[in-house]
Amino acid sequence: MKDTTTAAERSPSYYSASIDQDSDYPSVQGEVRVDVAIIGGGFTGVATAVELAERGFKVAVVEANRIGWGASGRNGGQVTGSLSGDAAMAKQMRKRLGGEVDDFIWNLRWRGHDIIEQRVRRYGIACDLKHGHLHAAMKPAHLDELRASHDEALRRGMEADVTLLDAGGVRAHLASDLYLGALKNTRNLHLHPLNLCLGEARAAHSLGALIFEHSPVLEIVHGATPTLVTAEGRVVANQVMLAGDVYHKLEPGKLKGMIFPAMGGIVTTAPLGELAAQINPQDLAVYDCRFVLDYYRLTADGRLLFGGGANYSGRDSRDIAAELRPGIERTFPSLKGVPIEFQWSCAMGIVMNRIPQLGKLSPNVWYCQGYSGHGIATSHVMGEIMAEAMGGELARFETFAGCSHIKVPMGDVFGNPMLALGMWYYQLLEKLR
């Protein structure tokens, strides 16, 4: 069951095996002219395309493989209000926003939820969208963090959305003795990410956007009307947006050494039947409080989808199922020996300071990347921000573009070893706290 994805195939995942309606868009042929050309058919590119098309722009999305081929169609499917770089954001953005920075970041946490829910309703996207999430504590220090999060949520008016659970409360939600407590959040979501991405692409297309697949961009030609060069055609635009995250090698002069791949492994079991409701009766998504965490949820057909153990070397695991099975059985002893039917990897774009990277490569060529494992919600907020910026509303874009980022010299050589060393340090801290 090793992931043998080629340039045109989808990963052999549960998601690709349960697509509601797959994509079948043409490749770029000849010359195409649009207002905005977007490189990358994942959440960032597709969400931005919907935003721009709704505003009346003529848009083209140019994808090297297929819509949702990368991390957007392979992730854990959890839409939560977590931001791994929130502390760094607050420190850097305070210079620009002053006392409003905390409200800015708080609203950022939840804006993606609203965009996704509204879009699913507006365009009738079938993506198994459900509410409910547990952030679970495995040691007393984790409980302190959850209490602080709970207090902040109450202060922000989320009384109806959050509940702090003790160990007994967790056992009423999960057939597991692993946790000391949890923060239950019914505002958080979980869903089938590939079906969401494909549905949003259909929505953009219905609004007049052009979608191209199997069209790797070979070069961005900068100028008054920047041009995307592919093997069989050209896309000429007034503005270009690069939204390929870690899956491209374009513009190395400015972008190399800024973002690095971390490989996450995910598996799904065979359908569990009645056992699914026994281990997770409220059908909640879950992740724990560790730096290197496990995350899981039930699929629409009653499988356990389980991920964890991010690999910061940038290389795929040889046997994801063997690596994750002990975590499954430790969490749910009743699943000992359960068959695992799908396993696949997910390359996440990791930024050293965890702040999403928004900027310009030239006056009319933009880029947006780097969500460090929190991409579903964040990519939709960034899509809104990028569409605003290309329409002339620059305030939120400039708040992110003004942040400083670490650029690692010889990034391909040193970037992932630095990430691995940093994660080793955080794992050591985890043992001590």
| Every domain of the chain and the residues it spans | 14-74+194-259+353-402, 130-189+260-347+411-432
Question: pTM, whole model, 2 decimals?
Answer: 0.93
Q: What pLDDT tens digit does each residue of the chain (433 aa) get?
A: 333 333 457 999 999 999 999 999 999 999 999 999 999 999 999 999 999 999 999 999 999 999 999 999 999 999 999 887 899 999 999 999 999 999 999 999 999 999 999 999 999 999 999 999 999 999 999 999 999 999 999 999 999 999 999 999 999 999 999 999 999 999 999 999 999 999 999 999 999 999 999 999 999 999 999 999 999 999 999 999 999 998 898 998 999 888 888 888 999 999 999 999 999 999 999 999 998 899 999 999 999 999 987 665 556 667 999 999 999 999 999 999 999 999 999 888 888 889 999 999 999 999 999 998 889 999 999 999 999 999 999 999 999 999 999 887 655 554 455 545 555 444 455 455 6
Backbone phi, then psi, for 225, in 5-degree steps? -125, 90
The pLDDT score that the predictor gives to residue 7 is 40
Structural tokens at position 148:
């602080």
Question: What pLDDT does residue 85 have?
Answer: 87
Q: How far apart are alpha carbons 245 and 381 in whole angstroms?
A: 15
Q: Which CATH superfamily is domain 14-74+194-259+353-402 in?
A: FAD/NAD(P)-binding domain (3.50.50.60)
pLDDT for 3 equals 35
Burial (0-12, 13-18, 19+ Cβ within 10 Å), 176? middle
The values of phi and psi at residue 199, to 5°, are -65, -35
Helices (H) and strands (E) in the chain, counts: 13, 17
Residue among 267, 266, 268 nearest 276 (CA): 268
Which uninterrupted H or E stretch holds 296?
strand 294-298
Question: Using an 8 Å Cβ cutoff, are 285 and 296 in contact?
Answer: yes
Q: How far apart are CA 118 and CA 386, in angstroms?
A: 19
C-beta of residue 55 within 8 angstroms of C-beta of residue 391? yes
Residue type, position 167, single letter: A
**What pLDDT is stored for residue 341 in this prediction?**
98
Dihedral sign, Cα of residue 40, residue 41, residue 43, residue 45 = positive
What CA–CA distance (Å, rounded) separates 77 from 423? 23
Count of residues for the chain?
433
DSSP secondary structure string, 273-320? THHHHHH-TT--EEEESSSS-EEEEE-TTSPEEEEEEEETTSS--S-H
Handedness of CA 7, 11, 15, 20 (dihedral sign): positive
Question: Which fold would CATH assign to domain 130-189+260-347+411-432?
Answer: D-Amino Acid Oxidase; Chain A, domain 2 (3.30.9)
Q: What's the Rg (C-alpha) of the chain?
A: 21
| Tokens standing for residue 315 | 């290389």
Query: How many angstroms separate the CA atoms of 117 and 130, rounded?
Result: 10
